[in-house]
Structure 1
């Protein structure tokens, strides 16, 4: 079951940006995957990395042309420098990045909330059938 930290059950396709924290060791006997959303700063970092990697991909053909001898050192130099700067920035961002985590108490609380909501839903459906 995929849930968020507020105890809401999430469909896999509706999960927010961020890692899943797996938990099969709980009193409910259910395997949970708890989605933790990235902070605004982390989202911005990923966006920047994505743009830098796109730039590298878009200029790969120039690197290949240079490797094949179609560009001189002088013609390729601006791309070489810009690509090196892009790779250095990616490394800098990735070096300082840490995944969000949850404490055992936060995990337990999210699981308790979702199980409480599921019980309420089951009780409501049972009442409707009466």
Structure 2
């Protein structure tokens, strides 16, 4: 099931396929520096997202949670190990979430990607972590 894009999703798109959701990122610029804006995934270990792209990801996660396919997939599966509280790398501007992004693979380190998968049952926990991070960063 393809999730219809909304303005709030910005450069993100999502598609639910069985018990996984594929998130796709379209960089806002089409030049050689665009790769520096792509999400980073360490398969099975974590996800890194440029801090300016987090509001769009939060919106995409929310849209996924509205879909009946999300609720069917969530009911049929057990949650994974969950997502750890995020940390921001001040040098590269990325926020890193340790957790079950993509399928575990025998690779080390984060790699820039155009898309990544998250198990349907892990979407809610990731949305909570992203929302909490953004709330903590907003001026009071």
Asked if these proteins are the same fold (TM beyond 0.5), I'd say no
- TM-score tier by shorter-chain length is under 0.3
TM-score of the pair, normalised by structure 1: 0.26
TM-score of the pair, normalised by structure 2: 0.25
Q: Which has the larger radius of gyration?
A: 1
Between Structure 1 and Structure 2, the one with more helix by share is 1
